[in-house]
Amino acid sequence: MRTQVGIIGAGPAGLLLSHLLHLRGIDSVVLEEREEQYVRRRVRAGVLESTTADLLREVGLGARMDREGLVHKGISLHFDGEDHYVDFERLVGRTITVYGQQEVVKDLIDARRRAHGQLLFEVRDTAVHETGSDRPRITFTDAEGRPQELVCEVVAGCDGFHGVSRKSLPQNELTVYDHTYPFAWLGILAKAAPVRDELVYANHERGFALYSMRSPEITRLYLQVDPEERIEQWPDERIWSELHTRLPALAEGPVLEKGITAMRSFVASPLRHGRLFLAGDAAHIVPPTGAKGMNLAVADVWLLASALSELLLHNNSALVESYSDTALRRVWRAEHFSWTMTSMLHRQPGATPFERQLQLAQLRYTASSTAAATSLAENYVGMPLTSPL
């Protein structure tokens, strides 16, 4: 098998990269270890920055998002027993859109199918070879159990934190920045009509909580918990009791899904070795507090698609040479914002009364200062993709 770009991973990063390359006349093959129905169903992030939503519209992927997505003009910070509204539209003239990552993935798969794109699901034993040459190879076993080899001009690693791509870079050339937070999120998806129009981030003495939604019928809710806790320790009744304690009024309903997710920040550098490039969660992880994970992946592949187009169509390597440094500037901005939101909103284990008052002081300042609220709004809705940061 031959193609111009071999893409490992059929998440938002890999699928969008394939779509962007197709629009530029560049062939690609996407390899994914999971079955297609699993990829279509897996629930992940749900907040699209204005820059992400604009890009999806620009490349012909915005129709269903505009019909079904929920446009939010701001968020509420809930502390001191009160809501404090941060009005994004007034402060920076932009909004966010709540539209689940799985919905973006469905739109991308359907678009690639219409364009007869090559999407190979249920592959295994994937390995990357000869990335220092101009003909790197990907070997794998296909869904029928047959060994295969894909010869490419470029390999894009979009296979997430646990994938093979980052491990295929020379480890002695890779610098890793890793931070694990001393708490986790317990998340539920509930069949309950949202009673709020927009997201609520709550700082409570018992811990952080987040009120969000996925549709006019589905609510997404989160609780800060100890990372050592197991989901079996949280029956539905306990979850709802704790949510009512930490959040303003909310409606209950049948719990459709629940799970506990660890919180970490992670960055690998550089994002390139020879003709192997990393994008999305294969390169970096952010805590979900700042709603940056999928949006960073989109920004990565927007940049990478332009760089690969210059390389493959015009034999110009300038953008691929600068890809890692340019992408990492945006990554570190998002890492800092996500760390700031996480630190400001979560109960810190072992925090002294002095440290607790400092946290509340930061929240009060953010809610009362136009300058501080504008900084939060600008970061939350997303910097322009052309911003040098």
Q: Round to whole Å and give the CA distance between 68 and 96.
A: 13
Active-site residue flag, 201:
yes
Q: Which of 211, 287, 288, 323 is catalytic?
A: 288
Active-site residue flag, 181:
no
| DSSP string over 226-280 | -TT--GGG--HHHHHHHHHHHSSS-----EEEEEEEEEEEEEEE-SEETTEEE-G
Q: Are 295 and 48 in contact (CB under 8 A)?
A: yes
| Enclosing H/E stretch for 181 | strand 175-190
- Closest alpha carbon to 345 in 369, 376, 375, 383: 376
Query: What single-letter amino acid sits at 178?
Result: D
Q: Which of 99, 181, 211, 380 is catalytic?
A: 380
- Closest alpha carbon to 293 in 307, 304, 279: 279
Q: Which of 22, 72, 78, 204 is catalytic?
A: 72
Active-site residue flag, 72:
yes
Q: Round to whole Å and give the CA distance between 33 and 14.
A: 13
Active-site residue flag, 380:
yes
Q: Round to whole Å and give the CA distance between 6 and 148.
A: 13
| DSSP string over 45-74 | --EE-HHHHHHHHHTT--HHHHHH-EEESE
- Closest alpha carbon to 118 in 29, 43, 203: 29
Q: Which of 201, 211, 222, 323 is catalytic?
A: 201
Active-site residue flag, 211:
no
Q: Which of 19, 273, 292, 346 is catalytic?
A: 292
- Closest alpha carbon to 7 in 146, 136, 102, 167: 136
Q: Round to whole Å and give the CA distance between 128 and 149.
A: 10
Query: What single-letter amino acid sits at 53?
Result: A
- Catalytic center residues: 72, 201, 288, 292, 380
